[in-house]
Structure 1
Amino acid sequence: MNRRDIVKGLAALPLVAAFRPLEGVLASHPAKKRLIIDTHVETWNFDPRFPFKHPENPNLKVQIEAPIENQIGQMKDFGLKYGVLINPRYYGWDNSYMANCLKTYPKHFVAHGLLNPADPKIADNLRYWVKEHGFQGMRFSPIYHPKEKWLNSPAHYPLWKEAEKLGAVFNYYIVPHQMPMLEDMAERFPGVKIVIDHAGKPDLKAADCWPEFRKMFKLKRFPQVWISNSEPYEMSEIKTYPYTDTLPFYKAIYEEFGAKQIIWGTGYPRPRWELPMDKELEFVDKYCDFYSDEDRELILGKNALKIWKFPRKA
């Protein structure tokens, strides 16, 4: 079960059940005095100004909001300094809500939108969101198109060239067999910074997922590539915290890429029915015991400063 399944399933639950995991979480969990940046914040609300247009599931019924104000509260409660906004796909190719969030809280966030990979004007669309709305990058999700080859098609070369000119960042929701296509583009366009979401999505249901998973390791030779070692519930088959079946994969990424090419993010603000913020941080601090304290400083915050240009706070 993934996040999309959970969203659907919550329709049958009393609302209080969705919030029960948060009881007592926000009361007193002071963060350590360190830089913490949430590099993956998917936020949405039910404001009619921003209608949902999910490209793969237009009839999806989302039951619970995760508005930007919730993330502001989380940042205050846990000492997070910045966040990277990601269009959650509910809005399709319309990034207006992300633009509104960025405009409303310009000292807290940078933003990524979505672009239709099949749009012949995709490079122009990238330029529009960067130039007109101050976005710093885009997220692409080839995971939804497992048989398509658009990721490294010549039709996308102008997109990547434009990204190099603009200094845009691309993050990818991608599965292991698609990694060679991303490797091809990283080789061709070294000026584009790349973030791989969800630790590359190893398939823990497979009898042996390691041969496919290791395809991602070839990307370690590119200094412009970072892996998001976050959201363990996305890959876990145990589905119970602390998701111990995911730890060998996070450790392998650490051993291959090193702490300088790893970042951290949570997915979305409260309501976090999968993992509340205190557990998100505990997972890194306690259960990822192969990280040193210096590694955690890089992963939780300092590495993000090399990827995005965050606003200076007064």
Structure 2
Amino acid sequence: MSIDRRQFIGRSVALAATALPSLAPSLLTSQVHAGEDRLIIDTHTEVWTLDPKFPFNHPEAGAKLKVDVAAPIENLVGQMHDFGIRYAVLINPRYFGWDNSYIAHSLSLYPDLFVAHGLLQPEDPKIADKLRYWITERGFQGMRFSPIYHPKSTWLNSRDHDELWRTAEKLGAVFNYYIAPHQMPMLEEMAGRFPGVKIVVDHAGKPDLNAKDCWPEFRKMFRLKKFPQVWISNSEPYEMSELKKYPYEDTLPFYKAIYEEFGGQQLIWGTGYPRPRWELPMDQELEFVDKFCDFYTAADRELMLGKNALRIWKFAKS
């Protein structure tokens, strides 16, 4: 049985979750908005609870997945307060499988701070109906798909998914993809056929730095730049780095190449984690963009850290 890196961390890291005081959403919202120097939107945050009301049912590990540390919505709200992050996008971390109830619960608690993406079983024959339910009944704005876990599958551009994409166009849904470089042509096909669906590519397209020469495969993503409805998440360097040490200098040529190809208008930023944070604390997440990615212009950095997200999602008070 294989589980992804987040599941491994969740199982093996012995940390006590940091408990934060319970604060009213209205108070937190006012504090987040107070005294900010710039707009910061975290476009990829994951939360989970160990409350049995929201049982785990991981797509690969099932209900037997062992996670010792909770990362509840309250922790994320506290982090946003501490660092002046105005809005964030909630994404189901796969712990709950195709049940997005905890993400919906979190959204209902803090609707002024978040928008939500869930997960759908990609080969469910009723996938379009499930998309419609989560968006129209539960207030979600999109879904995340992870074809990287299905490296030989062709469901991404299957004709069976046409109804899903047509429904997404009608609903104004956003799709974000955790995808391997060799799968980019399939996404390129769907972006061309369904231009009304906004698309986010996670983890900078996940170049394989273990490969002898990963650039030919990695450059397949660059063909997506012709689509104005596509954005690349130029963030989370620890996801691709082989150095495993901040500031992950081996990732910088890839972020620079993406920037040179797509420009500031098609980049966004996201961290991937709430509290507890295991790999990169928030101050270093921001420092990485501000200091080490010195090839960004100041104006493009502002687009990437917040303003572009306003073109993708509808936040409550934006």
CA distance in 2 between partners of 1:275 and 1:115 (Å): 29
- TM-score, length-normalised on structure 1? 0.93
Say whether 1:261 aligns with 2:262: no
Taking the TM superposition and a 5 Å limit, the aligned residue runs for 1:183-262 are: 183-262=188-267
Query: What do you get for the CA RMSD once the two structures are aligned?
Result: 1.5
Q: Equivalent residue for 2:280?
A: 275
CA distance in 1 between partners of 2:291 and 2:39 (Å): 18
CA distance in 1 between partners of 2:211 and 2:142 (Å): 33
Aligned residue among 153, 157, 160 for 1:152: 157
Q: 1:279 to 1:31 in 2, by over 3 A?
A: farther
Q: Deviations over 1:238-276 (max 9, x none)?
A: 111111111110000000000100000010211111001
CA distance in 1 between partners of 2:182 and 2:61 (Å): 24
Amino acid at match of 1:258: G
Q: Equivalent residue for 1:293?
A: 298
Structure 2: gaps of 5 or more residues: 19-33
Q: Equivalent residue for 2:11?
A: 8
Per-residue deviation at 1:186? 0.2
**Number of residue pairs matched by the alignment:** 299
Per-residue deviation at 1:31? 8.7
Say whether 1:97 aligns with 2:102: yes
Per-residue deviation at 1:292? 1.3
Q: Equivalent residue for 1:72?
A: 77
3-state secondary structure, aligned to 2:258: helix
Aligned residue among 41, 44, 51 for 2:45: 41
Say whether 1:57 aligns with 2:68: no
Name which structure has the greater RCO, CA cutoff 8 Å, separation 6+: 1
CA distance in 1 between partners of 2:10 and 2:47 (Å): 13
Taking the TM superposition and a 5 Å limit, the aligned residue runs for 1:69-148 are: 69-148=74-153
Aligned residue among 304, 308, 311 for 2:313: 308
Alignment check: 8 A CA contact 2:57 2:65 kept: no
**Ranges of 4+ aligned residues in structure 1 off by more than 6 Å:** none
Amino acid at match of 1:55: P
3-state secondary structure, aligned to 1:111: strand
3-state secondary structure, aligned to 2:130: helix
3-state secondary structure, aligned to 2:308: helix
Identical counterparts, % of pairs:
74
Structure 1: gaps of 5 or more residues: 20-29
Alignment check: 8 A CA contact 1:86 1:112 kept: yes
Per-residue deviation at 1:56? 1.1
Per-residue deviation at 1:2? 3.1
Per-residue deviation at 1:3? 2.8
Alignment check: 8 A CA contact 2:7 2:67 kept: no
3-state secondary structure, aligned to 1:208: coil
Say whether 1:181 aligns with 2:204: no
